[in-house]
Amino acid sequence: MAFRFLNQELAIDLGTANTVIFKNDQIALDEPSIVAIDNQTGKCIALGQKAKLMHEKTNPGIKTVRPLRDGVIADFNAAEMMIRGFIRQVNSRRHSLFAPNLKLVVGIPSGSTEVEIRAVRDSSEHAGGRDVYLIYEPMAAALGIGLDVEAPKGNMVVDIGGGTTEIAVISLGGIVQQESIRVAGDVFTADIQSYLRQQHVIKVGESTAEKIKIAVGAVIPMLDVEPEPFLVRGPNLMTGHPVEVLVPYQEIAHCLDKSIARLETAIQQTLEQTPPELYSDIVENGIFLSGGGALLRGLDKRLTEKINIPFHVAEDPLRAVARGTCIALKNTDNYSFLMR
């Protein structure tokens, strides 16, 4: 294996909000999925965290682009630029005359169309991938949580990402029942912006709404551990004068209520269509929550009370899909659910 150094394997969770890359079983990169582009030359000037700092603060010469919307590639060129840039960052310490032979496993939403799947595959190949495998995100999440996906029993995963929520019942290494809905982190952020505009007549950007969601995001009005109210500063929509508003978690729970109700309905519909033997396994084992949305305070409690089946938040839910793609990367010859 004299040329083994020329082979490189990367597991990529290409998320709407964040991209995580695993290399040699370790996180090599965890950055926001955003690119800053020079409007005149069309060249990438910043990626990830640097580009996020520019978001909503650019001048006419620069634009920031989130290449993924609702879990799928919305801007092909920007996506390719981003994937290529992130792979280059991961390889920045390598000093080789030859480009490595890249083997990639990339997570995609389970509701992806053929066109959307092709876009991810093409972007990955154009960014240097020689061997590209694709895995559905709920399957990757189940692997990352530590579930035995190939066992003859039902496991249910709800992966709440930035663009989509993936709901899947898994058995014998395949997805038996799945639902992919576009109610996820971005919708929750938009809900918060809309609520502040209507109730407090204050205008906030996407980045501020995101901070509010992380600081006081909740889905029930009574929490055991209460976060401190979040101080929001912004212009009054009527007068244009600067105003300050203290936002408690109860208000966020109220403004997210309709979106969470849609999530509950989708979970119930998936359960209704699940074969009875698998349904009984799910009742016994519970339902597992992963993705950034799983961090909303009180979500497991609310869903457990509503659906009458215990819900468990995965350990480090943000990286469950990335960990799963990493496990799949080591078993590309054995796992039949990987797509080439």
How far apart CA 57 and CA 36 sit, in angstroms, is 11
Which H or E run includes 202?
A: none
One-letter amino acid of 188: F
Residue 327 tokens read as 């496990």
Could you report the per-residue pLDDT of 169-185, keeping only the tens digit for each?
999 989 999 999 999 99
Residue ranges of the chain assigned to CATH 3.30.420.40: 4-140+321-330, 147-183+258-315
Q: How far is CA 167 from CA 158, 204, 222, 293, 304, in A?
A: 4, 31, 26, 13, 15
Could you report the per-residue pLDDT of 203-249, keeping only the tens digit for each?
999 989 999 999 999 999 999 999 999 999 999 999 989 999 999 99
- What CATH number is given for 4-140+321-330 in this structure? 3.30.420.40
> CATH number of 147-183+258-315: 3.40.50.2300, 3.30.390.50, 3.40.50.300, 3.30.420.40?
3.30.420.40
- State pTM to two decimals: 0.89
Could you report the per-residue pLDDT of 239-297, keeping only the tens digit for each?
989 999 999 999 999 999 999 999 999 999 999 999 999 999 999 999 999 999 999 99
- What CATH number is given for 185-255 in this structure? 3.90.640.10
Residue ranges of the chain assigned to CATH 3.90.640.10: 185-255
